[in-house]
Amino acid sequence: MADVLRWGRSAYESDEALALERAAGEELGLSWELREDRSSPGSLAGVKALVTNSGVRVTDAVLERFEGSLVLTTTSGWDHIDVDAATRRGVAVLRCPMARRDPVVEQSLAWLVALMRRSPALDAASVRGEWARGRLVELGGRGLAGAKVLVVGGGVIGTRMAEVLDLLGAEVLGLEQDGVPVPPKARRVGLDALSEVDAVTLHCGLTPSSTGLFSAERLALLAPHAVVVNTARGAVLDVEAAVGMVRDGQLRGLAVDVFPEEPYTRLAEGAAVEGVLFAPHAAGYRHDLSARVAAEVGAALKAWHAGEPLPHAVATARPNALPVVQGLGGSFLYTTDVLALAAWYTAQFGFTFEKWGDSMGFEFPSADVLPAGRMASTTFALMKADAVAEVRTGRINFRVSDLDAVVASLRASGSEVDASTDESYGRFAWVHDPDGNKLELWQPPEG
């Protein structure tokens, strides 16, 4: 039985690229096998790593038969994988966003420019044989420089999109929404700012927090001149409501690459509306995608095989790569920016912040942690006190099973870490989070 099972093959993937993927595994001493039957992976006996695409469903039932430690999807999205089931079983889940990052950004940017400058209206006039130069003032084309563009999602693609928009002179905004990261380049805003934006571009993953995020009610908060682009996930946007708003003049334009169900049955009906641009989940494609995916898969397998920090982890559940958290039940860490610090802890340790609110003058999220695939959880809170002039710092202790792996991951992210050894008590390391809270990492002595 193969060490690496490639379950599913996309239409764009060439034999040559799959051969590169096989060679990458074999260079690591891992045998490789392709199974194209999307209905079932077949026997998983002896499989250490499962490589999939969005055409298959990695369900709880599949993972129950899987004895390996890695599920790697060749896609940027991961909603075809039961991540919770993987985490419970100590299985890491990785994705491959870099292969599609630039094509998605380019497509999103092209659509933003086209819609804001009223290209669909000018094109429709040309089809009618109308020289529409005299309508330019009426059409009111807008540029990106100085425009307020809301980038929803701060992952690999959203971060790059924000960087490009910033370089082009746009005022980049990021939506403060529980479970949806904000790009570093973006100024944080709430839903009350929707009426002020000129464009919205969606780049978030599909999670409970993002599902239905841009409903008909929230779309109605946008100004009539605003445009919306969705290259994220179909369920984030009410596409039918958005099409209707463009038809009725309540939105200037809409571009959609992803749909709530695919193929989308109302494709022709929506695309017939002037100002609506549709594509068949094509934004991530370019001519060399197959080779780029193979290279990213190979790099991910290499990191996993070597025990190095795992790239683009959705769930990093390997016992030797994440800390086991103990004794955090009453811990409070103080911060000047709750959302920014929450994002740091999510990036470093995979913590999920689930509760947001106000209590006793504090604005806080609460983290419910299921670390390292262990069946245990605890909570801690990040607190912001507006009445306190100086931020106090707290201290938390992480018990880890492999201190070297955790320290390597932190240093790779740019954190400074001090480490020492005490023969009686084990090995220790200390790191400060961006707000100065002290993290003590402890690996108990063997035995």
Least confident of 38-42, 203-207, 281-285, 386-390: 386-390
Beta strands in 31-74 (DSSP E): 32-35, 49-52, 70-73
**pLDDT averaged over every residue in the chain:** 83
- pLDDT in the model for residue 322: 36
Mean pLDDT value across residues 434-447 = 69
Please compute, for residue 104, the number of CA atoms within 13 A of its CA located in the half-sphere on the CB side.
30
Question: Is the four-CA dihedral 187, 193, 198, 203 of positive or negative sign?
Answer: positive
The pLDDT of residue 325 is above 90: no
pLDDT at 36: 95
Residue type for position 215: S
Q: Which two tokens stand for residue 365?
A: 């999220």
Q: How confident is the model at residue 373 (pLDDT cuts 50, 70, 90)?
A: very low
392 pLDDT exceeds 90?
no
Across 332-355, average pLDDT = 63
If you search the block for the tokens 């499989």, which residue do you land on? 47
- What CATH architecture applies to the domain 4-98+287-315? 3-Layer(aba) Sandwich (3.40)
Beta strands, E only, 130-218: 148-152, 171-175, 187-189, 199-202
Cβ atoms of residues 363 and 379 within 8 Å:
no
d(C-alpha 251, C-alpha 118), whole Å = 12
Decide if pLDDT at 29 tops 80: yes
Per-residue pLDDT tens over the stretch 62-109: 999 999 999 999 999 999 999 888 877 888 899 999 999 999 999 999
The domain defined by 100-278 folds into Rossmann fold (3.40.50)
CATH number of the domain located at residue range(s) 323-443 in this protein: 3.10.180.10
* Residue ranges of domains in the chain: 4-98+287-315, 100-278, 323-443
**With 90 as the cut, is the pLDDT of residue 313 above it?**
no
Please tell me the number of Cα atoms within 13 Å of 261 on its side-chain side: 4
Residues 268, 242 contacting (CB under 8 angstroms): no
pLDDT tens-place string over residues 171-182: 999 998 877 888
> Does this chain's domain 4-98+287-315 share its CATH topology with 100-278?
yes
What is the predicted pLDDT for the residue at 383? 57
Mean pLDDT on 186-195: 94
Q: pLDDT band at residue 385, thresholds of 50, 70 and 90?
A: very low
Dihedral sign (CA 281, 284, 286, 289): negative
Identify the CA nearest to 210 among candidates 181, 189, 243.
Answer: 181
Task: Give the model's pLDDT for residue 318.
Answer: 35
Question: What pTM was estimated for this model as a whole?
Answer: 0.72
Q: What average pLDDT does the segment 239-258 reach?
A: 98
What per-residue confidence (pLDDT) applies to 287? 95
Q: Identify the pLDDT of residue 432.
A: 75
Which range has the worst mean pLDDT, 185-199, 301-315, 391-405?
A: 391-405
User: Residue 258's pLDDT is what?
Assistant: 98
pLDDT of residue 181: 84
For residue 413, what pLDDT band results from cuts at 50, 70 and 90?
Answer: low
